[in-house]
Amino acid sequence: MASTKRKIGAVLGRGTSATVKLAIFDGDHDEESIPTKLMAVKSAKSNYSSMLKRERQILEELDGCSQIVHCYGDDLSDNKYGKPVYSIFLEYAPSQSLFDWMKSSKSAFSESQVRRLTLSMLKGLVHIHSKGYVHCDIKPQNVLLWSSDEVKIIDFGWAKRSGLRSCGTSTIRGTLLYVAPEGPAQNVYEKPSDIWSLGCTVFEMLTGNPARWVPDNADMPMLLLQIGSGDLMRRIPETVSEEGKDFLRMCLLREPERRWTAGMLLNHPFVSSGSAAERPPLPPPPCILPPGERSCWTRCRRSY
């Protein structure tokens, strides 16, 4: 995409390699490539641009799924210091992430809403997996509320081709609170890993607490060993319905080959019977140019 005039607004998120800002495009842009004036611009300096280019390529291959954030294109321009900056143009979500919603409301979602939003997440995962990719960082921070029934999965910075292993690296793909045991234990990140992370996300939506707990002042090598052994997982509360408990069990099986696939989970009663439930209102969206930072686009790489 050619360089496009835009007015940069508030910071929406800031990560190690990229910054996401709100942008308003002028009226003379190509409406076919940029059909909306308001979007999020994710930018990286030249030394990190290869990661962002790879994310754009993945999003292009995943295009056509309403549960995945859309990428409109990219450009290369100079910042105010004359340094080259690579940017991609992303669909802007005026609402919150699942994490933001729970943090601001200081409560969990109702189970009826969890059923519908989980169904939407599963549709996105089915599409991602069908295209031969693993997201590797499914968590509440990377799932945006789009409506009472729909979500958008974002941040494909850790995504990888299924079957492609990272040899000779100790880097954890994703976030320790949500990573599957086979990640730290065997350096394996495949489609079942996304299912584990989905289970952790649904657990947190239902209870307001992470599925995995971490001792204070935990020693990192011991912590990784415990995660790889499947320890540190909280019990499913009795307040969760039997369908919800069974859904979580199918996601959080220790052996990855035993976990249900995203396609199988689409037919689980927890989501297949929840479409007629009452529709609670969504939280009001923030103003278009919010002051300060918001966390819905932040790549929250918490250690634990």
Active site residues: 137
- Cα–Cα nearest to 114, from 219, 206, 221: 206
| Distance, CA of 238 to chain centre | 28
Cα-Cα-Cα-Cα torsion 165, 167, 172, 178, nearest 10 degrees, comes to 30
- Cα–Cα nearest to 261, from 166, 125, 97: 125
The number of CA neighbours under 13 Å toward the Cβ of 239 is: 10
Interacting residues of 280 by C-beta distance below 8 A, sequence separation 6+: 110, 112, 113, 148
Helix (H) or strand (E) holding 151: strand 151-153
Buried b (16+ CB within 10 A) or exposed e, 108-123: bbebbbbbbbbbbbbb
> Is residue 283 left, alpha or beta, with left meaning phi > 0 and alpha meaning psi from -120 to 50?
beta
- Cα–Cα nearest to 70, from 85, 60, 79: 60
* Residue 70, phi then psi, degrees to nearest 5: -90, 140
Interacting residues of 114 by C-beta distance below 8 A, sequence separation 6+: 202, 205, 206, 244
